[in-house]
């Protein structure tokens, strides 16, 4: 593992083909010699439905674009989702608007829509258990078409779960100085629900991200910067920004897992790709980094730790999720695809393809354990999508919710969503299929990282095969022996 430079802060207090049946699909779970505790969890689908449809805005984003954040939360016993719609006749890039939905006994309904602003990206949600719901927005400051984008003004809007139709309150985040925010925010929005605190992070070009903390008293009392790792050096330094991070704020400690998003730095690779795509640019996601601070209000972020590096064969890594355990261990979840097959024949013909979903545990800034939850060594990907997630239950059990495409009897891959448990010693417990009629290819959950409570209810919001322009929802009860419902009743859902 490599480290890179630290970060600065200021504060007043311190990411098909079907292979033949003979292709070896290697999927396993390392629970040898130990009972598969996930066997005592029986996922029961209670709700499975469409939520809304959308049109491609042709601006490079979409409803699932905010990656490590979420657009689904629970607060005050209610369920909320934010949506993204294309404004008729508006031109990219800032040609979308947000809307807020709530689900009650009658189903989903729009409770609020942005009637004035224009934006490019979806708007992440966060929440507190007392019924406060927060929406991160990034409206453009421009007045007309912006084909190349333009300046934007980040804001956080506060809603009440018991009256979401009411006009939200603007919380007006404050920053260090006057950062040049734009429509490409790559922002992160998370909450420590128990502590009643919010963290908003937003990228500035290829150098750093700005961050600001709203404390339990309601003040944006700490702010600073997180500097990216050192530039890539192939044919001269190439900026290496980190994007699509998964972040957790807990008791003012902040843990950050992000992927390098860099313009292809290898001149030979770039020339070859240009011949394939006709484009002068191609972005690669080959390196995964982690950093943390024990107290964002008074301690700088630590030097970067490189968790994975697939530069040599232009593989792809993707940060999926992060969860801080009661004992302080930081569980991380990520995918790796070993090679860019477009380049194999010319540049690394002996390289073998594999796709894996990986789990690791970090403690005190060191990666102490790494295990594969699922692995596929066939030439077709056995993992579906990029947004595999952790789910935490009220008794602190940790599960992985993921998409997989095993071979069916007719040799075709059939999408499934599965649940696997991370055992207390870090090993991977049993796996169980979630019996969805329409499994998710990509999804968000009502995650603890956004302030939703730990729960025996698994909420999923995202896209499904056959309906790429429709966002769907499912509610899954993780029933347990001796508990017919597996959860307390949840009002309004």
Domain of 227, CATH number, reads 2.130.10.10
Q: What is the pLDDT of residue 106?
A: 87
Residue 492 lies in a domain: no
On average, the pLDDT of the chain sits at 88
Residue 489 lies in a domain: no
38: pLDDT strictly greater than 60: no
Q: What is the pLDDT of residue 489?
A: 33
163: pLDDT strictly greater than 80: yes
Residue 174 lies in a domain: yes
Residue 77 lies in a domain: yes
For the entire predicted model, the pTM comes to 0.90
User: CA-to-CA distance for 376 and 374, rounded, in angstroms?
Assistant: 7
Residue 71's domain comprises 9-479
Give the contacts of 31 (CB within 8 A, at least 6 positions apart).
423, 427, 428, 429, 430
Q: Which of 137, 109, 108 is nearest to 124 (CA)?
A: 137
Residue 491 lies in a domain: no
CA distances from 480 to 108, 406, 424, 436, 448 (A): 28, 27, 18, 18, 21
Peptide bond connecting 244 to the previous residue in cis, omega within 30 degrees of 0: no
User: CA-to-CA distance for 384 and 354, rounded, in angstroms?
Assistant: 13
Q: What is the pLDDT of residue 383?
A: 72
22: pLDDT strictly greater than 60: no
H or E segment to which residue 270 belongs: helix 267-277
478-489 per-position pLDDT tens digit: 976 555 444 433
6: pLDDT strictly greater than 70: no
Q: What is the pLDDT of residue 410?
A: 61
10: pLDDT strictly greater than 70: no
Q: What is the mean pLDDT of residues 48-62?
A: 97
Give the contacts of 479 (CB within 8 A, at least 6 positions apart).
41, 42, 43, 44, 456, 485, 486
The torsion angles phi and psi of 30, rounded to 5 degrees, stand at -90, 65
Residue 485 lies in a domain: no
78: pLDDT strictly greater than 50: yes
Residue 488 lies in a domain: no
Residue 305 lies in a domain: yes
The torsion angles phi and psi of 345, rounded to 5 degrees, stand at -55, -35
**Worst-scoring range by mean pLDDT, 28-37, 121-130, 459-468?**
28-37
**Worst-scoring range by mean pLDDT, 112-121, 233-242, 330-339?**
233-242
Q: What is the pLDDT of residue 467?
A: 93
Q: What is the pLDDT of residue 405?
A: 84
Q: Residue 117 in contact with residue 63, Cβ under 8 Å? A: no
Q: Total domain count for the chain? A: 1
356: pLDDT strictly greater than 80: yes
Q: What is the mean pLDDT of residues 248-262?
A: 97
Q: What is the pLDDT of residue 452?
A: 98
pLDDT band of residue 35 (cuts 50, 70, 90) is very low
Q: Would you call 239 exposed, middle or buried from its count of C-beta atoms within 10 A (0-12, 13-18, 19+)?
A: middle
């Amino acid at each position: 593992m490599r480290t890179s430079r630290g970060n600065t802060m200021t504060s007043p207090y311190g990411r098909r083909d079907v292979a033949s049946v003979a292709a070896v699909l290697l999927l396993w779970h390392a629970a040898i010699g130990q009972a598969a505790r996930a066997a005592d969890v029986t996922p029961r689908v209670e709700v499975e439905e469409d939520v809304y449809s959308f049109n491609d805005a042709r601006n490079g984003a979409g409803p699932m674009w905010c990656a490590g954040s979420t657009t689904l939360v629970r607060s005050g016993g209610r369920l909320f989702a934010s949506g993204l719609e294309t404004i008729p006749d508006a031109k990219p890039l800032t040609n979308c608007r947000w809307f807020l939905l709530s689900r009650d006994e009658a189903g989903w309904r729009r409770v609020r829509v942005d009637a004035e602003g224009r934006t490019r990206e979806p708007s992440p949600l966060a929440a507190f258990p007392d019924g406060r719901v927060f929406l991160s927005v990034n409206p453009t400051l421009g007045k007309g078409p912006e084909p190349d984008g333009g300046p934007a003004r980040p804001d956080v809007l506060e809603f009440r779960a018991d009256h979401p139709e009411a006009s939200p309150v603007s919380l007006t985040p404050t920053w260090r100085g006057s950062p040049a925010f734009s429509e490409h925010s790559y922002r992160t929005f998370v909450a420590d629900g128990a502590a009643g605190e919010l963290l908003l992070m937003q990228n500035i070009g290829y150098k750093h991200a700005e961050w600001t903390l709203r404390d339990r008293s309601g003040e944006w009392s700490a702010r600073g910067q997180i500097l990216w790792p050192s530039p890539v050096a192939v044919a001269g330094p190439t900026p290496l920004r980190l994007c699509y991070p998964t972040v957790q704020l807990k008791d003012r400690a902040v843990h950050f897992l992000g992927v390098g998003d860099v313009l292809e730095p290898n001149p030979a690779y770039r020339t070859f790709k240009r011949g394939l795509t006709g484009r002068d640019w191609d972005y690669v996601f080959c390196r995964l980094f982690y950093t943390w601070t024990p107290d964002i209000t008074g301690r700088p972020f630590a030097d970067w730790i490189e968790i994975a590096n697939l530069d040599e064969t232009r593989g792809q890594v993707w940060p999926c999720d992060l969860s801080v355990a009661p004992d302080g261990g930081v569980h991380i979840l990520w995918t790796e695809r070993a090679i860019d097959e477009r380049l194999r024949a010319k540049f690394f013909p002996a390289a073998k393809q594999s796709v894996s979903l990986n789990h690791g545990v970090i403690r005190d800034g060191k990666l102490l354990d790494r295990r594969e939850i699922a692995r596929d060594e066939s030439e077709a990907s056995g993992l579906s999508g990029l947004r595999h997630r952790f789910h935490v239950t009220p008794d602190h059990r940790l599960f992985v919710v993921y998409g997989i495409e095993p071979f069916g009897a007719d040799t075709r891959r059939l999408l499934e969503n599965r649940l696997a448990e991370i055992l207390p010693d870090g090993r991977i417990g049993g796996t169980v299929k979630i019996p969805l009629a329409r499994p998710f290819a990509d999804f968000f959950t009502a995650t603890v990282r956004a302030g939703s409570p730990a729960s025996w209810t698994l909420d999923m919001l995202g896209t499904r095969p056959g309906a790429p322009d429709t966002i769907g929802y499912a509610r899954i009860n993780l029933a347990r022996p001796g508990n017919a419902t597996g959860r307390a009743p949840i009002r309004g859902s």
